[in-house]
């Protein structure tokens, strides 16, 4: 009987580096993520967390190494076509249309996916049920973030790429975020989160990206220097 090896990771970053503007932002990154896995990206401002997510989304290519999905290089255009349909991207830009209602802002994306029926439950789950028929321009920052999260649930793709998803959320909102991430992972979904704020994600791998610039001088460094002169 043939011996079966361990399952292929759904996503594998094999010695990946990435440059932007002629500078190396990510260097020799190796990560494998199986179904239900979570990766948390941390690091100082400018360390490359958003660049990592953009690269995973295919907006910028690795300058070395490969990103493999099911063992296939996503930079291959045939593979990318299928791979991008797996992705749900939540960025710092809200992409909310103010003149549409809260519900329409979710339904619009659901329609683009040829899906129906999940928008209202998603809006309600995110605590926006009473605002469903209000124009989105009425929403506060935190409510806008909740609307983005409602979209994530309604569209329901397997790989979530989340850039600072908890910014502007109150403590209940953060709990809801943690809940939807946990539920997504129970169904085999993958989550990659870039964050400065603590989010509880069970058994997540944490990748701390090194700072790209030397530490800024602190006040005490400056005072020490003044003492020496
Ligand atoms: N559009 C761009 N063109 C060229 N270089 C860029 C661009 N955006 C960012 N960079 C460079 O990439 C580096 C990493 O930026 P990135 O946005 O990935 O960091 P980050 O870790 O997400 O930062 P933050 O915590 O501030 O959100 C920056 O220092 C910047 O020099």
DSSP string, 3-70: PP-PPPPSEEEEEEEEEETTEEEEEEEEEEE-TT-EEEEE-STTSSHHHHHHHHTTSS--SEEEEEET
Tell me, which fold does domain 11-211 have in CATH? Rossmann fold (3.40.50)
Please list the alpha-helical segments (H only) found in the chain.
49-56, 77-83, 102-112, 119-125, 141-155, 171-186, 219-228
How many angstroms does the Cα of residue 224 sit away from the middle of ligand 1? 32
- The answer, yes or no, to whether residue 216 has pLDDT greater than 60, is no
The 8-class DSSP code of residue 69 comes to: E
| pLDDT of amino acid 9 | 95
pLDDT-derived band at 162 (thresholds 50, 70, 90) equals: very high
Q: How far apart are CA 90 and CA 211, in angstroms?
A: 24
| pLDDT of amino acid 123 | 98
Q: What percent of the chain has pLDDT over 70?
A: 90
- The answer, yes or no, to whether residue 124 has pLDDT greater than 70, is yes
207 bridge partner residues: 41
| pLDDT of amino acid 219 | 67
Q: Is the model more confident about 92 or about 148?
A: 148
How many angstroms does the Cα of residue 163 sit away from the middle of ligand 1? 12
- Dihedral sign for Cα atoms in the order 100, 103, 104, 110: positive
Q: Is 40 in contact with 199 (CB distance < 8 Å)?
A: yes
Domain ranges, ordered by start, for the chain:
11-211
Using DSSP's 3-state secondary structure scheme, residue 40 falls into strand
- The answer, yes or no, to whether residue 5 has pLDDT greater than 90, is no
Pocket test for ligand 1, best of 22, 25, 41, 60 (most atoms within 8 A of CB): 25
C-beta of 21 in contact with ligand 1 (< 6 A): yes
- The answer, yes or no, to whether residue 227 has pLDDT greater than 60, is no
**Residue pLDDT, tens place only, 16-72:** 999 988 889 999 999 999 999 999 999 999 999 999 999 999 999 999 999 999 999
């Amino acid at each position: 009987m043939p011996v079966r090896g361990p399952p292929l990771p759904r996503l594998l970053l094999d010695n990946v580096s990435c440059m932007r503007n002629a500078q190396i932002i990510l260097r020799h990154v190796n990560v494998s993520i199986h179904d239900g896995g979570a990766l948390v990206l941390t690091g100082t401002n400018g360390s490359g967390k958003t660049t990592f997510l953009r690269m995973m989304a295919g907006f910028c290519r690795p300058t070395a190494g490969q990103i493999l999905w099911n063992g296939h290089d996503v930079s291959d255009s045939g593979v990318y076509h299928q791979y991008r349909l797996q992705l749900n991207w939540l960025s710092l830009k809200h992409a909310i249309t103010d003149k549409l209602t809260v519900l329409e802002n979710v339904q619009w994306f659901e329609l683009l996916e040829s899906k129906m029926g999940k928008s209202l439950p998603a809006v309600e789950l995110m605590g926006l049920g009473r605002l469903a028929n209000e124009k989105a321009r009425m929403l506060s920052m935190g409510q806008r973030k909740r609307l983005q999260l409602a979209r994530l649930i309604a569209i329901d793709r397997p790989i979530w790429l989340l850039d600072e998803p908890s910014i502007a959320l109150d403590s209940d909102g953060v709990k809801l975020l943690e809940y939807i991430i946990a539920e997504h992972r129970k169904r085999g979904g993958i989550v990659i989160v870039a964050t400065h704020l603590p989010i509880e994600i069970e058994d997540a791998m944490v990748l701390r990206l090194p700072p790209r610039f030397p530490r800024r001088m602190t006040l005490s460094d400056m005072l020490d220097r003044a003492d020496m002169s």
